Structure 1
Amino acid sequence: MSEIRNIRVPPRIDSLPLPEREIGRKPAQDWRFTIQGQKFDFQGGKILLNNQNLAELISENLTHLSAQYWTTLSRRLARYRDWATLHVDDPEALAKFSALVHAFLTKIFGRIKKKFDETLDGVSFHLEDGQLLLNGVNVNAFLEMAKKHRTEKGRIFLKGLRNRLAILQSNRGGNPNYEKIRETVERLAAAIEKELLNYSPSVIELPPPSLPSPSS
């Protein structure tokens, strides 16, 4: 009987004390969101795009990638924000997340507006560290490459760049942004004209003269 009296009834599960760190802990939130092959996430106060810090991606590439790329990204980022608002139950984290999204979209929209402002007759231009980009093509870099490897395709492309530069020069009075690139445009236009002189002039092949018929 004494052995029976010494048996202790185990405590109920709900009466077991929890470690202090477990009290009030919120369940982990899943921030992963995929749209058209791009994977978004939010970890450690950072928004990730395909496991890359989105803040770094924007700061390092904002002036280089096309307006179309940033327009597409801004739409997907806005979709991610809408999804998180509906699916994530963490008001404090959502507030930080939303502030980041707002900052990124503001920066992207500012860049898109600037991109469209710097356009003349369908030719978009941008000057970055002395490098002139026309419709996304680095004129300085292509000219240097063409000098090292002269081909017929290179000649045709250089003539196309020269024509685009001529468009900018002919419409310079209508756009205040042109003054920022005027010296660069004039220098590159002269350099391209000089480089084109190194190519042989195009030879126009005429059909052979018709021979007189035997009866004539």
Structure 2
Amino acid sequence: MKITPELKKELKRIMWDYSVDENTLWAIWEGKSATFSLNRNKLRSRLLLSTSWYRLLDCLGLNGLKEVLTDEVINSIWIKDIREKFIYAQKALHGIVNEVAFRWGELNHFPLFSCVDNETNILSNKISCISRYEVKDIADIWVLAKRLSFSWRDIMSIAGQKSPVDPVEVSKIIKTLPLEELKLIKWAFDVNLDEVYSDLQTIAGDILVGRPNTLKDF
């Protein structure tokens, strides 16, 4: 894995309390060296624990992040909830390709909602409270994603200003929603629940890598 300037900057930030020169640090990152208290797995797990998810993507790239999320690195994380978070990310990233062609445009206006609260705020509000595990919130996210053009990274940033949100956890909640839960909703229009469920898998993947919404039919 190429050590980019962004990755170097992040490694120096997280290793502020270690007395190790830069060349040794890069060698440890690549698995070419180790010290009594620091090896590649420990350095990489420290990066995972100390850096926000989208910042990790910026520093490592999708393929680089996949390379870092090994069983050895993840298992070195002793906090169970955090370890399970990265186990999910490891599995979810497996089928996501690095390069995707997007058509991108301005946010669309959706007249169903009040002008007082625009569609971006509605979507970000749904994301910010997704930890309530309300299936109706997830259904609303699906409706908005089908109709609007936006960047999921932007939506996560807006939602994070209202309540702490973790893209990995949001992705996991959406991806692991049981199909049976969708049957509990009183839909205002006819839907194919199998298609909705499939779309939710797409949304979960888009959120995980912070890309523009690919569900919208441009």
TM-score, normalization by structure 2: 0.24
**Which protein, 1 or 2, shows the higher relative CO under an 8 Å CA cutoff with sep ≥ 6?**
2
Higher helix share: 2
TM-score, normalization by structure 1: 0.24
Larger radius of gyration: 1
